[in-house]
């Protein structure tokens, strides 16, 4: 939700209204050249008109709509999806590719159920739609990170490292210690990236479960209403999307 002043400032008609008031005040002062007292009154009326603008927006309900309006979110093009799918298909782990296919289906399913329960112009509809898209994009971002993380360790052979460390365990000397240290470092790199991948995939599974839970809750709700369980699921989705955004930005 935007603060009231951000909503007013980001609303183009606000600037048109302010410009019109300023232009009218300047025109009166320049053309009519009123005395100082009247000039002060004209300026005061202009300032009052500008101050009253947010109140006018609030009285008409426009301000609330602006505060809760859903931002336009980008989507993934078919080309981008195909390229990411090709990248994930090369991985030994089938889960990332499955998640890529599933997340789009679950988002679309939620929107389809939403269309049956709420009107597209409603604030609640916009909130649910926006959050679903944010979660979808967060999952996509996670999958891109998974592809990069696994590619970065694709040339590390854990079996070879384990075997070689076993061979070196009974040996001594500077070269032996240096080799063992290098092998251990590579092993640590693999473990770190694998842990990151596990976290991201688990986060994606949570996101997909919440999308399903929200869709199910909405399906059980009367038309035009959002029950508590749907609201709880949506709140959890918003929290997850926020966490995912912070993690991706870290």
- DSSP character for 23? H
- Least confident span in 151-155, 159-163, 173-177: 173-177
Contact 226, 121 (CB under 8 A): no
What does the radius of gyration of the chain's CA atoms come to, in whole angstroms?
Answer: 29
The per-residue pLDDT of the chain, averaged, comes to: 81
> To the nearest whole percent, how much of the chain has pLDDT over 70?
82
Confidence at residue 121, expressed as pLDDT on a 0 to 100 scale: 64
Inter-CA distances, 133 with 32, 56, 70, 222, Å: 56, 32, 11, 24
Residue 65 has pLDDT above 70, yes or no: no
- Give the pLDDT band (50/70/90) at residue 242: low
Residue at token pair 């000039």? 39
- Confirm if 53 and 22 have CB atoms less than 8 A apart: no
Which residue has better confidence, 75 or 48? 48
Residues whose CB is less than 8 angstroms from the CB of residue 53 and which lie 6 or more positions away in sequence, other chains included: 8, 14, 17, 18
Question: Which pLDDT score is estimated for 247?
Answer: 42
Domain ranges of the chain: 4-68, 78-249
Q: Report d(CA 143, CA 135) in Å as an integer.
A: 12
**Contacts with 113 (C-beta within 8 Å, 6 or more apart), sequence order:** 215, 218, 219
pLDDT single digits (tens) 1-36 = 556 667 777 788 888 989 999 999 999 888 988 888
Residues in contact with 29: Cβ distance below 8 Å, sequence separation at least 6, in sequence order:
39, 42, 43
What is the model's pTM?
A: 0.63
**Closest Cα partner for 124 from 60, 73, 69?**
69
């Amino acid at each position: 939700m935007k603060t009231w002043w951000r909503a007013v400032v980001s609303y183009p008609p606000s600037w048109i209204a302010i410009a019109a008031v300023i232009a009218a005040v300047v025109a009166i002062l320049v053309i009519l050249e009123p005395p100082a007292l009247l000039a002060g009154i004209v300026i005061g009326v202009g300032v009052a008109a500008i101050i009253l603008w947010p109140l006018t927006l609030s009285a008409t309900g426009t301000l609330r709509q602006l505060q809760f309006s859903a931002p336009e979110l980008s989507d993934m093009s078919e080309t981008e999806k195909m390229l990411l799918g090709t990248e994930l298909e090369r991985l030994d782990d089938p889960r990332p590719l499955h998640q890529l296919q599933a997340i789009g289906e679950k988002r679309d399913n939620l929107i389809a159920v939403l269309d049956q329960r709420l009107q597209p112009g409603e604030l609640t509809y916009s909130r649910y739609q926006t959050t679903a898209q944010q979660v979808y994009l967060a999952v996509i971002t996670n999958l891109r990170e998974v592809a990069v993380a696994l590619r970065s360790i694709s040339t590390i052979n854990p079996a070879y490292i384990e075997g070689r460390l076993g061979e070196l365990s009974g040996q001594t000397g500077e070269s032996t210690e240096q080799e063992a240290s290098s092998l251990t470092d590579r092993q640590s790199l693999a473990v770190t990236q694998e842990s990151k991948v596990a976290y991201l995939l688990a986060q994606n599974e949570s996101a997909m479960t919440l999308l399903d839970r929200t869709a199910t809750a909405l399906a059980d709700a009367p038309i035009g209403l959002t029950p508590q369980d749907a609201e709880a699921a949506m709140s959890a989705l918003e929290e997850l999307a926020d966490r995912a955004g912070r993690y991706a930005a870290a």
